[in-house]
Amino acid sequence: MTQQFPLAWEAYVAGHHGPAFGAWLDAAWEEATLGLPPPGGRTARCPGFAEMNLALRRLAAARAVEAVALVDAQRAVDAIRHHAWRLLRAWRSADFDTLGRAYARGYRWVKVLGNRTAVLLVPDAGSESVGWLGLGTAVGRCRRACRYASATGVPEARLLNDVREVADRLRNASASAEVKRLLSLTAVELAAGCGPQLAASNPYFLYRALSEADRKTQDVLRGVPSRQPDLLLNAERLVFYGREAPLASVLRPQAAALWVLAENAGRPVKRETIRREGMIRTNDERVSQVISRLRSELAELLGTNRDEVRTFRKRLRRLIRGAKGRSPDWGPYILDITPELVHVSPPRPAWMRQA
C-alpha cells in the first residue's frame, strides 16, 4: 500500500503522540506505585519516539512547520524520552524518589510539547493538514482521559465531541471511503458489541474502541496493512500471536482469568476483580497460582515443540506481569499487550459473571 494523503499521517502523529507520551508516563507511574515489575525487553520503551521524530522531519522537509515551533517540539520530545528512561531505571531499582521526579519533569515537558504542536504548522500548510493535526490531538487527549477515568461515568464528554467535530470537518476533505468510514465511527458505536449501556457507563470500553479506530486510521494514512490482533478471544476459541486453540482446552479458572485480563488489557487488575468477575473459587492469595498455571497451559497449548514451549513461557512471563505485594490481596496483575491489539468478542462464557 502507498500513502494516499501527503503529510496527513505526519500531521496526525505530530498532534497525537504528545498525549500518548503523557499516557505512557501515567501508566508507568501507576504500575510502579502498585508494585508491578517493569516490562522487559523492547516493550519497556515508551512507544512512538521514532514515529514522532520521523513525522517532524518529514513536515520540516516539506516546509510545512514553523521553525521555532519545530525546534521547541523536538527539544520537548528529547526531554520526554530522557525522563522516560530515567523513570524506567528508577523503577527497576525501586528508587521511588527518582521515579517521582522523572515522572513530574516528563509530565511538564508533555505540556510543553502540546503547546508547541498546537502552533506547529505554517499558515499555508493547508486546511486538511491542520485538520489531521487537530484530529490526532483530539484522539490522543480523549484516549488518555478515558484510560484513567473512573468507571462510574464518561469523562468530559467534550473530549469525545472534539473528536467527532474534527472528523466531521475532515469527512468532506478526504477522498478515501475507507478513511471516511473510520473517522465517522464514534467510540460508542465501536463499543456496541459490549452493549451500548455498558459502553456508555465504562470509559475503558470507550478507550478500547477509540484505540482500535486510532490504530486503523494511522495504518490507512500511512498506507500500510492493518496489523492483526495479538490476542483474540471469544467463547469458542483463542488466537495468541497467530496460534489458535479452542478456549475449552484451557481450564475454566485459567480461561476466566485470561478473559478478565484481556478485557482490561494494558492496565492493572486487582486479584479480587479477577476472582469475582471470573467466578473463580479461590481466595485472593491463590490467584497467583491460577495465573502461574495459565502461563504454563498457554505455553504448552501453543508451542509445538520444547523450544517453542520454552519461548512462549518466557514471553508469557513478560506479558502477564504481577506483583506479590506486602499482603495477599495487594498485588495486581496486568496483561501487557497494547489494548488495540487485543480483541475480546462478547458475550462472556456462561460460567463467568455476566456483565
- Reported as a single tens digit per residue, the pLDDT across 128-165 is 888 889 888 988 888 888 777 644 455 556 676 777 77
**What pLDDT is recorded for position 95?**
92
**What pLDDT is recorded for position 191?**
45
Full strand arrangement of the beta sheet holding 231-233: 243-246, 237-240, 231-233, 342-344
In angstroms, the CA 278 to CA 272 distance is: 10
Q: What is the mean pLDDT of residues 200-215?
A: 73
- Which residue, chain included where needed, has cell 479506530? 213
Packing angle, helices 203-222 and 127-148, rounded to 10: 150
Are 212 and 232 spatial neighbours (Cβ–Cβ below 8 Å)? no
**What pLDDT is recorded for position 94?**
87
Q: What domains are there in the chain, each with its CATH number? A: 8-222 (no CATH), 231-344 (1.10.10)
E strand intervals along the chain: 231-233, 237-240, 243-246, 320-322, 333-335, 342-344
Are 85 and 118 spatial neighbours (Cβ–Cβ below 8 Å)? no
Which cell numbers hold the place of 354? 455476566
Radius of gyration over every alpha carbon of the chain, rounded to an integer in angstroms: 21
Please say if the pLDDT value at position 97 is more than 80: yes
Which cell numbers hold the place of 45? 520503551
- Reported as a single tens digit per residue, the pLDDT across 103-123 is 999 999 999 999 999 889 988
HEC letters along 282-323:
CCHHHHHHHHHHHHHHHHHHHCCCHHHHHHHHHHHHHHEEEC
In angstroms, the CA 159 to CA 186 distance is: 12
Which cell numbers hold the place of 294? 495459565
**What pLDDT is recorded for position 181?**
55
Cα torsion at 235, 239, 245, 251 (round to 10°)? Answer: -60
333-335 and 231-233: which strand pairing? unpaired
Are 230 and 335 spatial neighbours (Cβ–Cβ below 8 Å)? no
Are 270 and 291 spatial neighbours (Cβ–Cβ below 8 Å)? no
Please say if the pLDDT value at position 219 is more than 90: no
231-233 and 342-344: which strand pairing? parallel
Please say if the pLDDT value at position 230 is more than 50: yes
SS3 state at 344: strand
In angstroms, the CA 268 to CA 255 distance is: 18
Q: At residue 339, what are phi and psi to the nearest 5 degrees?
A: -55, -35
Report which of 294, 301, 300 is spatially closest to residue 319, judged by C-alpha positions: 294
- Reported as a single tens digit per residue, the pLDDT across 236-254 is 999 998 888 899 999 999 9
**What pLDDT is recorded for position 113?**
95
Are 339 and 206 spatial neighbours (Cβ–Cβ below 8 Å)? no
Mean pLDDT over all residues of the chain?
82
pTM for this predicted structure: 0.83
- Which residue, chain included where needed, has cell 473517522? 183
Please say if the pLDDT value at position 283 is more than 60: yes
In angstroms, the CA 73 to CA 111 distance is: 11
Answer with the residue of higher pLDDT: 342 or 191: 342
SS3 state at 48: coil
SS3 state at 240: strand
